Amino acid sequence: MVKRNQLTVKFAVVLYCMQLFCFKGSIQAQPKDSIVVQLNKNTMLQGDTLGIEMTLQDYAKVAKTATIQLWIENIKTGRRWKFRYPLINGYVNARLRVDSSMQDGLYAFNFLLQKTFFTLTGKAVNVTKEDMFLNYVMISKNKQTIVDIATLNDDSTFSIRNLLFKDSAFIIFAKPRQKKKNDLLVNIKTILDSAFVPAAAVTKFISIGKAINELQIKMPDTAAYIFNPDDTRYKILMPEVLVKNKSTKKLQDFANENTTGSFTGTDAIILDGLSSDEIANAPDLFTYLAIKVGGLRLETDNTTGNQSFTWRNQPVDMYINEIRLDPEIPMSINPSDIAMIKIFRPGNALGAGAGAGGAIAIYTKTGQYNKATNRNYSFYITGYTGLDADWKQ
């Protein structure tokens, strides 16, 4: 468990949405700020790794922490890929591996500078004047966990600044005097996903494919390339649609869409929160599971009040949306917001470091499975691209 004030560079909470830029025309570096981008090669084959070195000039005066948005565009089709990197003290060095699925062609790498770092802003809708702050727990995909508070302003707004994490995470908010059922309603946003004009921009060109490189096609001049965020030349083809029998249960559809890897195991006990109201009507999650699943033993820490399970005298691993929870972290999930629970008996290891006492995987309602009446206190969030990442179709 890591508390935010113990971190040198803190985790970031960001809601990764489709970015809409409010600029058009050629990508040119702005004179007042300057970024320098160095690539280790400009002709590549599938399977190669591209080294990218990004530097913000005079960062001490411009921004000690900033963000580089990288939009890659296929020159011919217009298809785009989006990555983003943290600039800390004006520098970042990343590697991007070209997957075998990438098509031959010419690609424009558009590096766009935002002189801001991850900042999550929000508003608590249903709090009282006595509520001075919100508790929050954030679990990142690499199993790092933060427990902290977000101080509320007089208008019930809050801001969590200068946070950093890789890939995705799950964040849960709760009131300070939270009852067993979390009824908090929160709205959040981040400036990194809002419309912006880049403070500086650089475009580089890369060719992929043996045939293209052997023909020694002349690379386009950056001044002639026009990057238009509203360009819709590329039409995304819908994936093959599998027509399912009407009798297929909603739970099975949810499981197919939301379980991955070892969590897809068929030997788990599955509890349905979509087709049945049994979970939703439970007084609280831990009591419900202790009664429902034979062999589970509910333990309560007398010091912290946190609850946990043991099975055959071994601790049970807990997961939310396939992200492993720190056993010291309190979990405040409203039973009515749970879509499915999978209980894996002792002997099932879901990953490295898994214990011998089995596991409980809790999945919350998302997308089409989420009702308009559900509370908004938990969110999936996406952070910065890892310094070693894959570029795939």
- 221 pLDDT band, cuts 50/70/90, is low
Residue 353 has pLDDT above 90, yes or no: no
Distance CA 136, CA 116 (A): 23
**pLDDT score, position 303:** 72
> How far is the CA of 385 from the CAs of 79, 164, 194, in angstroms?
19, 11, 18
Please answer whether residues 274 and 265 qualify as being in contact, where contact means their C-beta atoms are separated by less than 8 angstroms: no
Q: Which residue, among 212, 218, 202, has the nearest Cα to 38 in the 3D structure?
A: 202
Which pLDDT score, from 0 to 100, does residue 16 have? 31
**Which of the pair, 31 or 53, is modelled with greater confidence?**
53
pLDDT in tens, 93-105: 999 999 999 999 8
Closest to 175 in 3D by CA, of 200, 197, 150: 150
Average pLDDT, the chain: 77
Distance linking the first and last C-alpha atoms of the chain: 36
| pLDDT at 24 (0 to 100) | 35
- Integer Cα distance of 116 and 86 in angstroms: 10
Taking residues 126-153, report their average pLDDT.
85
Q: How confident is the model at residue 167, as a pLDDT?
A: 80
- In this prediction the pTM is 0.61
**Residue position matching structure tokens 């997961």:** 319
Measured distance CA(355)–CA(241) in Å, rounded = 39
Where is average pLDDT lowest: 19-28, 44-53, 131-140, 170-179?
19-28
Strand-pairing partners, residue 300, are: 307
Residue 38 confidence class, pLDDT cut points 50, 70, 90: very high
- Helical segments of the chain, H only: 59-62, 210-215, 250-258, 285-292
The answer on pLDDT for 180 being more than 70 is no
Decide: 168 and 380 in contact? Cβ < 8 Å. Answer: yes
- Pairwise pLDDT comparison (144 vs 335), residue with the higher score: 335
Per-residue pLDDT band at 222 (split at 50, 70, 90): low
CB 184 within 8 A of CB 174: yes
Residue type, 92: V
pLDDT of residue 142: 64
| Predicted confidence (pLDDT) at residue 109 exceeds the cutoff of 80 | yes
Assigned token pair, 149: 């508070």
- In degrees, rounded to 5, the angle at the alpha carbon of residue 9 between the alpha carbons of residues 177 and 329 is 30
Average pLDDT over residues 360-368: 83
At 292 the pLDDT is 86
Q: Is the pLDDT of residue 107 over 80?
A: yes
Residues 18, 69: Cα–Cα separation, whole Å: 13
User: Does the pLDDT value for residue 328 go beyond 70?
Assistant: no
Q: Is the confidence at residue 25, as pLDDT, over 60?
A: no
Q: Can you tell me the mean pLDDT for 307-330?
A: 81
Q: Are strands 43-44 and 200-208 parallel, antiparallel or unpaired?
A: parallel
Rounded to the nearest 10°, the torsion over CA 55, 196, 108, 169 is: 80
Task: Please give the pLDDT value at position 234.
Answer: 37
Q: Which DSSP symbol is given to 26?
A: B
Q: Taking the alpha carbons of 264, 269, 271, 274 in that order, is the dihedral positive or negative?
A: positive
Give the three-class secondary structure for 306: coil
Displacement of CA 65 from its chain's centroid (Å):
20
